[in-house]
Amino acid sequence: MIKKIFGSTTRSFDIEQPVQVYKRKSAIQILPANDDDKSFKKSIKHTFKTIEDESEIRKAIEQNEFISHIITDNRFQAISRTIYSQEVQAGETIIQEGEIGSQLFISALGEYEVTTKSGIKLQFDDVRVFGELALLYNVKRKATVRAITKGKLWVLDNQSFKEIIERSEEEERNELVSFLSQVPTLNTTNEDNLRFVADLLSPQFFPTGTEIIKEGKHADAFYILRAGSVRVKTKNKELVTTLTRGQFFGESALINEESSNETVIAESPGCECLTLSRKYFIKHFGEVSDFQKLSVTNQLKKLSISKDANFVDLKLEHFNKIRTIGAGGFGSVDIIQHKTDKNSIYALKYIKKYKYVLQEQRDHILNEKNIQLNCHSPFIVRLYKTFKDTRFLYFLMEAQLGGDLWRLMYNKRRKPFMEDDAKFYVACVIEAFEYLHERGIVYRDLKPENVLIGHNGYVKLTDFGFAKIIGTNRTNSLVGTPDYIAPEILCNKSHDRAVDCWALGILIFELLTMKTPFQSKSSHDTYKLIMKGIVFCRFPYFISSKCKNLIMKLCSKRPVDRIGNWRNGMKAVKSHYWFSNFNWNHLKAFIMRPPYTPKLTGPLDLSNFPHCMNNPASVPEVQTSTWDEDF
């Protein structure tokens, strides 16, 4: 099609790299690709450390602005136990530029030097974290690190790290669900709904003596005790009861807004509660009576699994290749023409099978096929049929001859879009997201390069290599494009459709400014800014307050706070006042005038694509494996 093909040029932040503002963005993906396959996990070994060792490790992590957001206090103890020591000799290479990294290092003793092929060089002898991107994904190192003297390192393996994060997150969520299942107001519903409620809970600390709820005052929140205890009293009775960890109070606030008939006071040395306000609960679920009847699973629509009769008998030999319009390490995209029906023009994407054998990304390619083949939305590029031979897998797709949104903005216009124009393109993406999310599909790779322009000027979503059917569940893996990755993915947390809401906010910003809000000179700095959040971004003066408000709501740091991730999904985004004068019915009826309509001279006008050459030497080897039997 009209994009980079599966190329995953990853960047490390070991050495900063200058930014190229108009460079097309590449995706990254952690390995192994099957993010829900636990078979790769190994048993975690614990290593003894002294109090001084743990203090040294903690200090190094806290001083690293990026990794401190990921290894938080509640995770530190479990992760610290898996960090092991490694002695190094003078002259020993710890990290080699160009090799795939899978470990984070902390220098404990010794002196070290950092060099690159480009000549960048520095030395250090303090306690510091380096090589930290390796915790997130299997990245090529951008520098060489050698020991100048004999020394000692602390080492954290990325698979152990990932397992601890997943395990601790799941254990914590299960504990919260267990607490919630004891609440009469909530326990008449199913476990899936309780998991959604668990995501809404926010920790809050109350010092000794704090009156969390006061008798006679309006009570507007529900509380679960996570640590410490509280004393419950009334005017007539000094002590009614004492509540401890796992117990709850204020649950009636979820049902009505009546005054409390009790006072709840934090006891020494203070207590931590998980809180949920009535207003917040209603925003996500409606009234409690609505919540009790809610079945999120049953609300999901199903994909229309069917074969298009017009394509059943088509074979590759029925087509002539016109030109290659995209090429990358994983394959290429050609525009092809039916030999007898000259008006039948398609895009044929073909990928090298051996790449997926070597990199174990088979599930992703099968996901792409199964999802896109069965998506029937006018805002999603159609996949009509797939083929295979001993070297390639082929996708016969709808051709969008207008190019992509990235090329339109950066190569043709060379200037950002005005808000009304950007609004049209964003609306098309929202329609695509609404279709996907209603069917329990998360997309995970939004960017202008993946938004294709048709002959009529309307745009469609393409490249479903990272898409996945998750239903009401979550998924784990670091996939996506660095500038568009949501903070929960960077933190190795499980994620859902909220990551698409985040990416939508980033897209709006880029269309209006020709840069992403967290764009920096290196991936490291980009990730640090993402972890800080959108509230620290500087918005240009020409972005309207309405638009800024929508971006801020889409890019809320907490996934549950993002507009589009509430109970009414993308309908909430459509109802936002930035779209107050936008006619959604006209858009869906294709009677709205697009900002740009490509001037095509005919079905073979490929002027909106770059000229790409296939390298004969890159013909892949024959594959005899049977992993693609169902392709």
| Distances from the Cα of 63 to the Cα of 66, 126, 250, angstroms | 9, 12, 39
Say what the pLDDT of residue 299 is.
63
Say what the pLDDT of residue 537 is.
94
CA 255 – CA 288 distance, rounded (Å) = 6
Say what the pLDDT of residue 178 is.
87
Rg (CA), the chain: 27
Is 349 within any annotated ligand binding site?
yes
Which pTM value belongs to this model? Answer: 0.82
Is there a contact between 226 and 282 (Cβ–Cβ < 8 Å)?
Answer: no
Domains in the chain, CATH or no CATH each? 28-163 (2.60.120.10), 191-294 (2.60.120.10), 309-401+610-618 (3.30.200.20), 405-588 (1.10.510.10)
Q: Which two tokens stand for residue 101?
A: 């990294």
86-137 pLDDT, tens digit per residue, is 999 999 999 999 898 889 999 999 999 999 988 878 999 999 999 988 887 7
Q: Which residue(s) pair with 86 in the sheet?
A: 153
CA 396 – CA 432 distance, rounded (Å) = 20
Three-class DSSP category at 200? helix
Residue whose entry in the numeric block shows the structure tokens 């394509």: 311
Is there a contact between 254 and 222 (Cβ–Cβ < 8 Å)?
Answer: yes
CA 200 – CA 125 distance, rounded (Å) = 44
239-283 pLDDT, tens digit per residue, is 789 999 888 898 888 877 778 889 999 999 899 899 988 888 888
CA-based torsion, 539, 542, 544, 547: positive or negative = negative
Residue 82 sits at φ, ψ, to 5 deg, of: -95, -10
CA 157 – CA 159 distance, rounded (Å) = 6
Is there a contact between 378 and 406 (Cβ–Cβ < 8 Å)?
Answer: no
CA 291 – CA 294 distance, rounded (Å) = 5
47-86 pLDDT, tens digit per residue, is 788 999 999 999 999 998 888 888 877 788 888 989 999 9
CA 492 – CA 166 distance, rounded (Å) = 8
CA 497 – CA 277 distance, rounded (Å) = 23
Q: Which residues are tagged catalytic? A: 445
Q: How far is CA 33 from the centre of its chain?
A: 15
Is there a contact between 593 and 309 (Cβ–Cβ < 8 Å)?
Answer: no
Which residue numbers in the chain have pLDDT < 70? Answer: 1-23, 28-45, 292-299, 306, 329, 355-360, 613-618
